[in-house]
Structure 1
Amino acid sequence: MSDIDDVKMDFLLMGAPAGLRFNPALPGGLHFLDPISRVEIKLDVEGSQENLFRPLVCRAYLSIYVRPSVVRFVSSLLVGRFESYEDMPISLPYVKYGATQIDANGNIAKGFGVPFEMYPPQVQSVCDTVEASLLQTVERFLRFLRWQQNIDGPHFLFEGSPSLYWRIEGDAYRHVGLRVQNSEGASPAGIEWKHDDQADLETLWLDQAADEPLAHELLREAKNIAEHSPRSSFLVATSALEVGTKAYVAHLRPETAWLLAELPAPPIHKMLRTYIPDLHTAQGTPLTYWDKLRPLFKRVEANATTRNKLTHTGRVSISPELLESHIQDISDILYLFDVLKGHEWAKHNLSHSLRSALGWPASRRTRHRVSLRVGGI
């Protein structure tokens, strides 16, 4: 192999499209070639031939030319040897789980998958570039397919994350090593049934006019689609805030219900910051702690600007951190409305930061922050 000329490598991205079926079946599957990127996409059936509506598997192929050093490392990896390189993040022998996974000569123990982070930076860069190109192309294709043919389906495109494979010419495709995965979020909410919980629900149950507000339903929908459709989740969450705020104003002043339903409402952050406390003051129930919520309302105002940019251009990126913060802020506001309606139990559903800012007692709920790490060196 020359150290000058680039060498061709083949890559494959494979995953199961969510909710897609052939109708009723395409004997040869579906084939599409992107004339620009040269990504080749194939959709074919998976499973029993007796099931005409069986699930599909999507494969996207791309061949590129890479440096000989990349091919040498991958070629060695595919035959069970780890080729040393300068500034490796590990030293050999590599011991993990109490056993030698890679010996001093670079021989990889049977069953050990070399993590992505152990690859040379040049190899990682090639994989990242190819995976991004394949994923962008195949997602665009599936979205166009669903749109063009009015195909029903969930918000997400794949059942799980598609996997990346590679091969050197003449070899079968092999799985690219998995990169470390970190995730952090609230622990799952489980049902609690302490004496206070039962008493609160019984009181709520006896109120024949009580019903879960639409705003809470909308926010739950936003949470359910947050992972796969962050922009849609952001818009639905913002709608939940608007619905909840209008509903609370109508609760305070029933005569405004028709006006709020028929006319565009003023900016929500202004209603929260000024209009609602003014209504309370006029009714003789001033909200003495409302000024402590100004940082919250300032975030609402900033997120309203983001929502407007998103709806007008469709090109705004919503980070997981921004979405989580936005949903939590809206949840706090909606439960504050519940508190103001006389539901004392709603205080326990407020975030720790908001309860602390208001000087309210700790919640009796027992959710925690959970950090998970999978894979890696």
Structure 2
Amino acid sequence: MSNPPSQQPRDLARPAAHPAPSASSASGPGRPAAARRPGDFAPSGPAVSPADLERSGAIINTITGVFHSRVVGQENLRLTLLAALAAGGHVLLESVPGLAKTTAASALASSITGSFARIQCTPDLMPNDIIGTQIFNYGSGTFTTQLGPVHANVVLLDEINRSSAKTQSAMLEAMQERQTSIGGEVYRLPDPFMVLATQNPIEEEGTYVLPEAQMDRFLMKEILTYPRPAEEHEILDRSTAGSLTGPRQAVGTVTLEDVRFLQAMVDQVYVDPAVKRYIIDLVFTTRGSGPRPVPNLTQSVRVGASPRGSLALMRVAQAHALLQGRDYVTPDDVRAMRYGVLRHRLVLTFDALASGIKPEQIIDAVFHAVPMP
């Protein structure tokens, strides 16, 4: 839109609220007066056995304990990382320097007994430095394949926007197909496989903007905020006690089999047809259509969410339900993770960017327009 922010329509000008309302909220944008109760979306029989739910909760608590031992605060980040791990997706972390992006990624990796690789992205980083290459052996006269660091269970791409477009494209096949192609041969990536990428939004020199195709490969994008005063005080206390830089005692260990079990449980979380219809209506509304289109939305959004966005909303909602100890999805699970799933899938117009409209405002307008089942 070409109008200044103060003259934008009410739905798009309203500031985004974060974090999202919890499942216990009694009202909110997009909720009809007589909304169905959460239990109305449960299956007729148990989708996940109580024993499996208990085991899932124990795995989640172990990872949470390791996270809290390394990172102060950042609850939205913890929830995003846990949901993405359970859903089997990748996460893009964005913030100014010093907000524990790399620390949080390494904390998640340290809680899992799998392989971990950290790749520092620079402008001279080549695709072969990530996926691997073939090396000629002069003694035998043959080529041998050396796999790159991307062949790990958890891969941290630090400052991904500092790598060139050619190097960024090398991750497309790995993130989507879970494989790499080297010398005409296909090499499967480990299972589970998760990419955690970080980027700094305030520095432009020597950086390359991630294309939409690359952004869409990330299941979620989390934007970190500054800690509250009490949290920053705890950071100082930990620093003086030596717990920030000194040896860290492991809180617990999660095996790769535990992670695969957690992801299998997400597959079994029940999604009611009404919730699926709700997700479809939301995604169609981001494209300027839907049952109740947002007025003038196409003036602010050039490209809405793709079907991959619908799949991501459902998958992350299933993961969020499992994190809450439930075996079924409610509309509030969809709402709780809406920013992380959709903020990087909406391509704003130049007028919207010039007017200072944020993706979160568009998302709030969409959720306000679409009634909850």
Specify the TM-score bucket, using the shorter chain as the normaliser.
under 0.3
Compare CA radii of gyration and give the structure with the larger one.
1
Q: Which has the higher contact order (CA 8 A, sep 6+)?
A: 2
**TM score, norm. by length of structure 2:** 0.22
